[in-house]
């Protein structure tokens, strides 16, 4: 009888594409390499090629209108602009930066390519959106082996191989965090950006994780971060030293206990390879805030359009939904939602439009409207 084998050491990687949208655009416009470039806004600033074949780009400084930066190249970040920043504000800081429109179709193409390149080496992948994934390397051959004096050389080599394969398939660089769990890997992938490979074990937590601000933990956002700051807790190490009882008192039983675990780098979540969608939605922010009465016609047209888009999305993906909802954002940025559950699940544009219309009647429309959205939830397979 063979002796029982020890459980393999768990290795989870988090892979994050470097400045993904911007990097995809640089493949298409290599003359922009090294320059400050931001991606964002509508479709009205497409580069143009003149008779001599020279390309002309829109400049951030010339932009007017709504919208935010979705991605900025590292050169642009050096000028103080970053994703999420309003374009008009960014234009003041970096007027000479090149502005390119977003081309989601192209990013999705490269997304599929890099994920396929990873899957050739390690098939257990969890999708976390267009530009990042978790990978379970535990069972990949070689992951548990030492190489020379490096006890984790095997898994390190696998991560490097994944990076190489992504670059070969896409021409793009990525950063990888490699640790025993998702929480730590997510933090680690950020530590050596761009083109990084950061391997950490539990022994590294005190030195590498604890000095970082609490906001680096995935799940601590602006609100919780500010609240912790108010308690004199700025770093993950300070959070780790905080009394769990006190955290539970202030943040609730579930979140408080999680904060304590997270600060100690403890996370048992598995890599989930398949997800059924919970809801599908479409929304749009208007160029100018619309008035419920004066802009009734425009509003109605957009509303119908959104319902059609959601219906098309549902049909394309093969789902029907029972809960139809709307979302409005007013000029003061206040957001309200209304929804309604119907008896027969649907993916029909008219049925969605009608139910959404009933939802809209339940909202006080005295303020001007900035955003309108339509959502279908409670999904099941058609």
Q: List, by residue number, the catalytic residues.
A: 132
**Cα–Cα–Cα angle for 342, 344, 350, rounded to 5 degrees:** 80
Least distance in angstroms from the C-beta of 148 to DNA: 34
Q: How far apart are alpha carbons 234 and 227 in whole angstroms?
A: 10
Residue 6 burial (C-beta neighbours within 10 Å; 0-12, 13-18, 19+): exposed
Q: Contact residues for DNA (CB under 7 A)?
A: 64, 66-68, 70, 83-84, 86, 88-89, 92, 128-132, 186, 217-225, 252-255, 275, 277-285, 313, 322-323, 325, 332-333, 335-341, 359, 362, 371, 373, 375, 377-378
CB of 156 or CB of 260, closer to DNA:
260
Could you tell me the end-to-end alpha-carbon distance of the chain, in angstroms, rounded to an integer? 51
Nearest in space to 218 (alpha carbons), one of 278, 269, 171, 280 = 269
Q: What are the percentages of helix, strand and coil residues in the chain, rounded to 5?
A: 40, 25, 35
Q: How far apart are alpha carbons 326 and 280 in whole angstroms?
A: 12
Measured CA distances, 101 to 42, 106, 306 (Å): 6, 12, 22
Least distance in angstroms from the C-beta of 32 to DNA: 21
Beta strand 197-199 with 174-179 is: parallel
Q: Is 78 within any annotated ligand binding site?
A: no
Least distance in angstroms from the C-beta of 248 to DNA: 11
CB of 171 or CB of 221, closer to DNA:
221
Least distance in angstroms from the C-beta of 76 to DNA: 16
Least distance in angstroms from the C-beta of 85 to DNA: 8
CB of 119 or CB of 342, closer to DNA:
342
Q: Is 131 within any annotated ligand binding site?
A: yes
CB of 152 or CB of 329, closer to DNA:
329
Q: How far apart are alpha carbons 97 and 42 in whole angstroms?
A: 16
Sign of the four-CA dihedral 112, 115, 117, 121: negative
DSSP string, 59-113: EGGG--SS-BEEEE-HHHHTTT--TTSBHHHHHHH-TTSEEE---HHHHHHHHHH
**Cα–Cα–Cα angle for 179, 182, 183, rounded to 5 degrees:** 95
CB of 167 or CB of 216, closer to DNA:
216
Question: Residue ranges for the binding site?
Answer: 16, 131
Question: Residue ranges for the binding site for Mg(2+)?
Answer: 16, 131
């Amino acid at each position: 009888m063979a002796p029982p084998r020890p459980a393999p050491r768990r290795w989870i990687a988090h892979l994050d594409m470097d400045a993904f949208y911007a990097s995809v655009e640089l493949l298409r416009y290599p003359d922009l390499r090294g320059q400050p470039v931001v991606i964002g806004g509508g479709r009205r600033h497409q580069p143009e090629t003149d008779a001599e074949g020279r390309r002309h780009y829109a400049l951030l400084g010339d932009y007017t209108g709504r919208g935010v930066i979705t991605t900025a190249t590292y050169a642009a970040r050096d000028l103080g602009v970053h994703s999420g920043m309003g374009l008009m504000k960014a234009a003041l800081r970096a007027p000479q930066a090149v502005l390119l429109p977003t081309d989601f179709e192209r990013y999705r193409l490269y997304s599929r390519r890099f994920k396929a390149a990873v899957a050739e080496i390690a098939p257990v992948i969890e999708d976390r959106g267009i530009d990042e994934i978790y990978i379970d390397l535990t069972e990949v051959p070689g992951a548990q082996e030492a190489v020379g004096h490096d006890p984790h050389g095997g898994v390190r080599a696998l991560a490097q191989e994944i990076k190489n394969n992504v670059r070969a398939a896409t021409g793009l660089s990525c950063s990888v965090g490699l640790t025993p769990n998702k929480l730590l890997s997510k933090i680690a992938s950020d530590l050596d950006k761009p083109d990084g490979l950061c391997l950490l074990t539990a022994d590294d937590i005190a030195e590498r994780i604890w000095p970082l601000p609490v906001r680096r933990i995935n799940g601590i956002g602006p609100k919780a971060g500010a609240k912790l700051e108010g308690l004199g807790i700025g770093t993950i190490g300070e959070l780790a030293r905080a009394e769990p009882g006190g955290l539970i008192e202030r943040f609730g039983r579930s979140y408080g206990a999680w904060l304590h675990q997270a600060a100690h780098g403890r996370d048992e979540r598995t890599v989930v390879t398949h997800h059924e969608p919970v809801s599908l939605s479409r929304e749009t922010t208007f160029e100018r805030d619309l008035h419920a009465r004066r802009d009734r016609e425009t509003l109605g047209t957009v509303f119908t359009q959104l319902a059609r888009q959601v219906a098309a999305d549902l049909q394309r993906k093969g789902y029907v939904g029972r809960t139809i909802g709307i979302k409005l954002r007013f000029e003061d940025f206040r957001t309200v939602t209304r929804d309604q559950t119907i008896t027969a699940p649907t993916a029909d544009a008219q049925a969605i439009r009608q139910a959404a219309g009933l939802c809209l009647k339940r909202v006080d429309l005295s303020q001007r409207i900035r955003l309108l959205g339509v959502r279908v939830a409670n999904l099941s397979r058609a």
